[in-house]
Amino acid sequence: MNTNSKIYIAGHNGMVGSAIYRNLQSKGFTNIVTRMSAELDLRNTEAVAAFFAQEQPEYVFLAAAKVGGILANNIYKADFLYDNLMIQNNVIHQSYLHKVKKLLFLGSSCIYPKLAPQPLKEEYLLTGLLEPTNEPYAIAKIAGIKMCEAYRSQYDCNFISAMPTNLYGPNDNYDLQNSHVLPALLRKFHEAKINQQSEVVLWGDGSPLREFLHVDDLAEACCFLMHQYDDLGHINVGTGQDLSIKELALLVKTIVGYNGDVLWDATKPNGTPRKLMDVTQINQMGWKAEISLEKGIKEVYHEKFLNHNQAE
Run of H or E including 150: helix 135-155
Phi-psi region of 239 (alpha: psi -120 to 50; beta: other; left: phi over 0): alpha
Nearest residue to 119 (alpha-carbon basis) of 211, 21, 25, 253: 211
* 26 phi/psi in degrees, rounded to 5: -65, -25
Dihedral angle, C-alpha 158, 159, 165, 168, nearest 10 °: 100
Domain count, the chain: 1
Whole-number pLDDT of residue 82: 97
Would you say 134 is a known binding-site residue? no
Residue 197 in any domain: the answer is no
Would you say 15 is a known binding-site residue? yes
Residue 1 in any domain: the answer is no
Nearest residue to 87 (alpha-carbon basis) of 155, 9, 10, 159: 10
Would you say 28 is a known binding-site residue? no
Whole-number pLDDT of residue 310: 47
Whole-number pLDDT of residue 309: 54
Pair type for strands 159-164 and 32-33: unpaired
Whole-number pLDDT of residue 269: 82
Residues catalogued as catalytic: 137
We report the CATH number of the domain holding residue 166 as 3.40.50.720
Would you say 273 is a known binding-site residue? no
Residues in the chain predicted with pLDDT less than 50, given as ranges, are 310-312
Whole-number pLDDT of residue 258: 97
pLDDT, tens digit, 9 for 90 and up, residues 243-267: 999 999 999 999 999 999 999 999 9
Range of the domain at 142: 7-171+211-241+276-291
Residue 187 in any domain: the answer is no
Would you say 203 is a known binding-site residue? yes
Beta strands in 140-297 (DSSP E): 159-164, 166-168, 199-203, 209-210, 212-214, 235-237, 243-244, 261-265, 274-275
**Prior bond of 273 cis (ω within 30°):** no
Nearest residue to 234 (alpha-carbon basis) of 146, 138, 127: 146
Contact 211, 242 (CB under 8 A): yes
Residue 261 in any domain: the answer is no
What distance in Å separates the CA atoms of residue 17 and residue 106, rounded to the nearest whole number?
10
Residue 164 in any domain: the answer is yes
What distance in Å separates the CA atoms of residue 256 and residue 306, rounded to the nearest whole number?
10
Residue 288, CA atoms < 13 Å, CB-side half-sphere: 8
Residue 296 in any domain: the answer is no
Cβ-based neighbours of 158, under 8 Å, separated by 6 or more: 101, 102, 103, 152, 230
Residue 236 in any domain: the answer is yes
Would you say 164 is a known binding-site residue? yes
Alpha-carbon torsion (235, 137, 184, 41), positive or negative? positive
Residue 123 in any domain: the answer is yes
Would you say 141 is a known binding-site residue? yes
